[in-house]
Structure 1
Amino acid sequence: MGRDEGEGVGAAKRTLIVTNDFPPRAGGIQAFVHGLARSRPPGSVVVYAPRWKGCEEFDARQPYEVVRHPSSLMLPTRGVARRAAGLVEDGGTVVFGAAAPLGLLAPVMRRAGAARVVMLTHGHEASWAGLPVARGLLRRIGRDADVVTYLGEYTRRRIAPVIPGTRLVRLAPGVDTAVFHPGAGGDGVRRSLGLGDRPVVVCVSRLVPRKGQDMLLRAWPLVLRRVPSAALLLVGGGPSRQGLERAVARGGLSGSVVVTGSVPWEALPSYYDAGDVFAMPCRSRVGGLDVEGLGIVYLEASATGLPVVAGSSGGAPDAVRHGETGLVVDGTSHTAVAEALAGLLSDPVRARAMGERGRAWIEEEWRWDRVATRFAGLLDMTSRDEGPAAGPV
């Protein structure tokens, strides 16, 4: 159902989702926003998002309309405002996939006929709240919203001084447990990469410093001392890829580390399933301005039945039950990371038990049907004065 900007819009009233973060570009926010769109009845939403490699094929498979911006980035410019306003239907709802910066377009959306504006926040809005100029912009963005969502307690604390509490509602990502599950195709990935039956630590994430792939490589020689047959599988693309590959070569780790680069969106569950342990030792950077908002990858890994090793950055601990579904470690300490990984690889019974508890936790508290119900409630409220629906997801 995808199309490029400029074609006509159907007559049925639909929710408009305006977002920079959308598949086929990989990422946690992208998965979250896509999941929200998919949770709505077919044809009841239209998504306005940037172009990305492979978007035509992806869009054609969706049960809703996707309008692509001509470029790969949307900023709150007049051109973007004009295109987004042209997609607003009188009396409809506009959802911003991330409040900053596109939420600055909210006044234009209201003038175009939007009766309700919902904005999602993630880790970067929490960072904006700590900067004087950005804090003022975030306050302005929140003033023009009916509802501003937050992921967990960490992000709520950061943005609450800026955005009125009456507008804040928790809306965390969900996981499709029919897609992410044990036995999702990992054996095939192992065969294709020559991993056989080796103990595998897998990291699925964008390759950027905050995610901690560099710390995994620093920790890896220590892991190999205790588990010599172990393999590390780094899945994803990003600006750090070349540096990570050079570090693998310098450290003589090419026999035990595989860097796959980007993989197709639909293949991600099989790459999780190829692992025995999931690890993304994220760390806060730039004085706390570059921080993890939650980490949907931890939830997807748990749904796949893997024990999780997470860094302690920002809201990441909200996605792990320390000691039950995985371990939260200091992402700035390669020795702490190595100890956690080697401990789990050396004790597969403990690791499997954590993975089973993680799967049960996801099924109990993080299913998409719960998120979908919550999201529907936020869209169906008709007045700014009603306040947010009660109770967290």
Structure 2
Amino acid sequence: MTNDFPPRPGGIQQFVHNLAVRQPHGEVVVYASTWKGSEKFDAEQPFEVVRENTGMLLPTPSVARRAAELARAHECDTVMFGAAAPLGLLADGLRRRGGIRRAVALTHGHEVGWAALPGARGLLRRIGRGADVVTYLGEYTRVRLARVLDGVTTLERLAPGVDVDAYSPSVDGSVVRERHGLSSVPVIVCVSRLVPRKGQDVLIRALQRVHRTVPDATLLIVSGGPDRKRLERLVLETGLQRHVVFTGSVSWAELPAHYAAGDVFAMPCRTRRRGLDVEGLGIVYLEASATGLPVVAGDSGGAPDAVREGETGYVVNGRDVHAVAERLTNLLTDPFLASRMGAAGRAWVESEWRWETQAARLRTLLAG
């Protein structure tokens, strides 16, 4: 049961979908909100997807009734909430009216914000009481969730994975480069939704400093989002129109080639709103590593868990333009260093971050 499911774009959506498609055949039915293109996408899935005609499922009585009806009709014994908050509030009702015996609730980044607010903290504790397991992404999120959920439910780690076949050093990024006129220039690529937390504005400002040493370096900003107009104004203010490319939203199938179009990956995320707007992990760093790129990550939340500092890339203060520029310049001017870090990142992802490993972990949590 989830609001975070393709074709709606985003890292959480990819997380939930990749876990679902790797569960045993015939054991999954998905109840989700709707999105443009849902009908075509759903027809291609190896399981049934039931969509509510709304852009956002909320724990309302009508949604609770529909979820219970589906659970009974499909003889479901377990529910997994794609995001614990807020739909995890429905767990107790699904036990009473839907025949559910076990509930697993995934957390990402926003539940950490809930854990920090007095009113929301009580709701998160209620979600925990209704769940047999609440998952966390890494040590950062575990510590903050434990302050609310220790003694209430079981906390278990479940992180996203990477499709190491789709994201690979063998992927050809030349078509993307040619499309945007980048064939002969060094490229810094950032794949992330355009929202202030992701730090694309810092990358634009850092590019000015990078140009002191690498004057033809170009920034490829991949994805869409509400912050695009502000970022475009910043590009004009800094005079970087010829050196910053916005691709807009990109399909899942095209994402690997957009990573491969870069020489360095960077997303200097920063925590905002006094800890309420925080990066849960940052799967984009791992996808970039799998593609063989060195990464420059911000220090928000659990983002450092997706980088081996000094080995697969660097973690910097996401607000420090100078530090971001310095790391990017180092990697763009030292091909041996960049190659070594990219190779180390690929090896790390292959050994510890495969989707198959995470999906097997989920099967264990669902089975209890």
Q: Does 1:350 align with 2:333?
A: no
User: How far apart, CA to CA, are the structure 1 residues paired with 2:6 and 2:327?
Assistant: 32
Shift of 1:208: 0.2
C-alpha displacement of 1:23: 1.1
Task: Kindly indicate whether the alpha-carbon contact (under 8 Å) linking 1:43 and 1:65 is maintained by their aligned counterparts in 2.
Answer: no
* CA positional deviation for 1:250: 2.2
Distance 1:350 1:358 in 2: 12
Deviations 1:256-289 (A, max 9, x none): 1101110112111111111111100000000111
Partner residue in 1 for 2:129: 143
Q: Which residue of 2 aligns with 1:263?
A: 250
* Residue deviations 1:71-117 (CA, integer Å, cap 9, x gap): 21111112221222221144511000010011111112112111110
The amino acid of 1:298's aligned partner reads Y
Secondary structure class of the residue paired with 1:66: strand
Output the CA distance in 2 between the equivalents of 1:332 and 1:275: 22
CA distance in 2, matches of 1:197, 1:365: 34
User: Which whole-Å CA distance do the structure 1 matches of 2:36 and 2:265 have between them?
Assistant: 27
Aligned Cα root-mean-square deviation (Å): 1.1
* SS of match in other structure, 1:160: helix
Q: Which residues of 2 match residues 334-345 of structure 1 at below 5 A?
A: 334-345=321-332
CA contact (8 A) 1:203 1:278 kept: yes
Q: What's the counterpart of residue 23 of structure 1?
A: 6
The structure 1 residue matched to 2:265, chosen from 253, 278, 287, is 278
Could you state the TM-score of these two structures normalised by the residue count of structure 1? 0.91
- Cα distance in 1, alignment partners of residues 304 and 147 from structure 2: 22
Q: Percent identity?
A: 65
Query: How far apart are 1:43 and its partner, in Å?
Result: 3.0
Opposite residue 60 of structure 2, the aligned amino acid is T
Match of 1:54 among 37, 53, 71: 37
Whole-angstrom distance in 2 between the partners of 1:299 and 1:360: 11
- The separation in 1 between residues aligned to 2:180 and 2:301, in whole angstroms, is 33
Q: Deviations over 1:354-388 (max 9, x none)?
A: 0000000000111111111111111112xxxxxxx
Note the 1:65-84 alignment, pairs <5 A.
65-84=48-67
Could you tell me how far apart the structure 2 residues matched to 1:91 and 1:280 are?
40
Q: Secondary structure of the equivalent of 1:225? A: coil
Determine the C-alpha separation between the residues in 1 that align with 2:175 and 2:49.
Answer: 32
Q: Which amino acid aligns with 1:101?
A: P
Give, in angstroms, the shift of residue 161 of structure 1. 1.7
From 118, 132, 141, the equivalent of 2:104 is 118
1:185 Cα shift?
Answer: 3.0
Question: How many corresponding residue pairs?
Answer: 364
**1:215 counterpart (185, 193, 202):** 202
* Partner SS, residue 262 of structure 2: coil
C-alpha distance in 2, partners of 1:341/1:91?
A: 50
Q: Which blocks of at least 5 consecutive residues in structure 2 are unaligned?
A: none
The aligned counterpart of 2:318 is: 331
Match of 1:35 in 2: 18
What's 1:235 paired with? 222
- Structure-1 residue corresponding to 2:78: 93
Aligned residue identity for 2:332? L
Find the counterpart in structure 2 of residue 248 from structure 1.
Answer: 235
Deviations 1:134-188 (A, max 9, x none): 1100000000001111000000000102113561111111111011111323111
In the TM superposition, what whole-angstrom CA distance separates every residue of 1:22-47 from its partner, at most 9, and x where no partner exists?
11122111111011101112332111
Distance, in Å, in 2 between the alignment partners of 1:371 and 1:42 is 17
- Give, in angstroms, the shift of residue 252 of structure 1: 1.4
What CA distance in whole angstroms lies between the structure 2 residues aligned with 1:73 and 1:251? 38
SS in 1 for 2:8: coil
Gaps of at least 5 residues in structure 1 are 1-17, 382-393
Which AA in structure 2 matches 1:133? G
Separation in structure 2 between the aligned mates of residue 279 and residue 133 of structure 1, nearest angstrom = 35
